[in-house]
């Protein structure tokens, strides 16, 4: 177990080092001088030279990379050019809406995906199964930003049930701020429930064919007990993996959805950083999100140990 953990952490460290290397070199792919690109057309030669020196861009690439890595180890993601503050601070300030949006969305996605997946598997081949399978396929084909725009027009602009956009003033109570997240969470949750639904269905079908289910039925247990106690508990183990995958999809979806609903989250920060070519912010966001993804996947692997006593590392 300790050995497994050690090897997993070592593997994670290698992947994170590679991620950091990729992030550093991606921003260096820019044609021309990054300082000139960051400052735009209006910049004078003196401004560009100043930025080059302050960001160490005048030094050789390996030196820049070593310095950047050194700063990273100390938790310093650099300074935003446009926002005039550390990237870490900018990310933390924007974390709240993104955190709650991701949390609510994954909750909604699970709430839709798991029960519908079970129903589809239990009534396999019937109309209800075809309906849910069709829904899952449709969910995977709908762009979240488009779905968001349509729902916004109907429920926020038309019916006035939800605020149209934004996250409320900074002083308003949390409950009011969270009210702004209801519609975006429904959008992301519904779109991302597709994957969970498909996985739950496939996993349930797999388990329902097992011998222990036949035994449970032979013992005369009620169908509800067979499905909910005996099948579902085993079927949910692979579904945990899909929650990790959904997290990655949700972050991608959140970037676009935040823009649609004008939420001041990390996604919105990234998009504005891209439009302003604020490279330190782009680098920082890429690194933090990829790091979170790697950590969540590790946590899921470890969760298997708790959920499934058969899994031993």
How far apart CA 176 and CA 89 sit, in angstroms, is 24
CA distances to 3, 13, 64, 65, 249 from 283, rounded to whole Å, are 33, 18, 14, 13, 19
Using the rule CB under 8 A, is 165 a contact of other proteins? no
Number of residues binding to other proteins, judged by CB under 8 A? 53
How far, in Å, CA of 199 to CA of 18, rounded? 30
Dig out the tokens for 255 from the structure: 């970037």
Among 119, 188, 263, 289, binds other proteins (CB under 8 A): 289
CB of 173 to other proteins, least distance (A): 29
Distances (CA, A) of 249 to 64, 75, 214, 221: 32, 26, 37, 39
CB of 254 to other proteins, least distance (A): 9
Residue 150 structure tokens:
């349509």
Interface segment toward other proteins; rule CB under 8 A; list 96-104, 108-116, 228-236, 283-291: 283-291
The yes or no reply on residue 31 touching other proteins (CB under 8 A) is: yes
Tell me how far, at minimum, the Cβ of 45 lies from other proteins, in Å.
Answer: 22
Q: Is 66 in the site for other proteins (CB under 8 A)?
A: no
Residue 267 · residue 258 · CB < 8 Å: yes
Residues 6 or more apart whose CB falls under 8 angstroms from that of 175 comprise: none
Under rule CB under 8 A, residue 65 binds other proteins: no
* Chosen residue from 248, 298, 300, 302 binding other proteins by CB under 8 A: 248
Q: Which of 145, 162, 167, 199 binds other proteins (CB under 8 A)?
A: 145
Binding flag, residue 240, other proteins (CB under 8 A): no
Residue 39 contacts other proteins per CB under 8 A: no
* Residues between 104 and 133 with contacts to other proteins, criterion CB under 8 A: 124
174 scored as a contact of other proteins (CB under 8 A): no
Chosen residue from 99, 146, 161, 313 binding other proteins by CB under 8 A: 146
Distances in Å between the Cα of 10 and the Cα atoms of 13, 14, 69, 85 are 5, 6, 17, 33
Measured in degrees and rounded to the nearest 5, phi and psi for residue 83 equal -85, -10
Of the listed pieces 64-72, 102-110, 141-149, 176-184, which binds other proteins according to CB under 8 A?
141-149
In whole angstroms, give the CA distance from residue 115 to residue 119: 6
Cβ contact 246:196 at 8 Å: yes
Footprint of other proteins on this chain (CB under 8 A)? 14-15, 18-19, 21-22, 26-27, 29-31, 124, 137-138, 140-143, 145-146, 149-150, 152-153, 157, 202, 205-206, 209, 248-249, 251-253, 255-256, 259-260, 270-271, 273-275, 277, 279, 282, 285-286, 289-291, 293-294
């Amino acid at each position: 177990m300790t050995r497994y953990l050690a090897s997993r952490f070592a593997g994670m460290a290698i992947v994170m080092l590679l991620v950091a290397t990729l992030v550093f070199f991606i921003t260096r792919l820019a044609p021309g001088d990054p300082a000139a690109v960051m400052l735009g057309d209006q910049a004078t030669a003196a401004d560009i030279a100043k930025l080059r020196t302050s960001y160490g861009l005048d030094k050789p690439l390996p030196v820049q990379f070593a310095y950047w890595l050194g700063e990273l180890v100390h938790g310093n993601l650099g300074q935003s050019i446009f926002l005039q503050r550390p990237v870490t601070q900018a990310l933390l300030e924007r974390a709240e809406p993104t955190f709650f949006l991701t949390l609510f969305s994954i909750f909604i996605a699970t709430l839709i995906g798991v029960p519908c997946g079970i129903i589809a598997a239990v009534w396999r081949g019937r109309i209800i199964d075809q309906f849910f399978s069709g829904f899952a396929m449709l969910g995977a084909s709908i762009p979240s930003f488009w779905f968001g725009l349509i729902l916004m027009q109907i429920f926020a602009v038309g019916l006035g049930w939800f605020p149209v956009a934004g996250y409320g003033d900074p002083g308003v109570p949390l409950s009011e701020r969270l009210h702004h997240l209801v519609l975006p969470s429904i959008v992301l949750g519904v779109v991302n429930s597709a994957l969970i639904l498909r996985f739950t269905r496939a996993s349930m079908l797999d388990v329902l064919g097992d011998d222990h289910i036949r035994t449970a039925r032979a013992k005369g247990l009620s169908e509800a007990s067979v499905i909910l106690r005996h099948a579902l508990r085993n079927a949910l183990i692979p579904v945990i993996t899909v929650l990790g995958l959904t997290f990655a999809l949700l972050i991608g979806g959140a970037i676009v959805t935040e823009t649609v609903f004008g939420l001041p989250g990390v996604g919105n920060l990234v998009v504005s950083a891209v439009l302003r070519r604020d490279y330190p912010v782009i680098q920082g966001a890429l690194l933090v999100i990829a790091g979170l993804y790697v950590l969540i996947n590790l946590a899921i692997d470890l969760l298997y140990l708790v959920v499934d006593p058969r899994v031993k590392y």
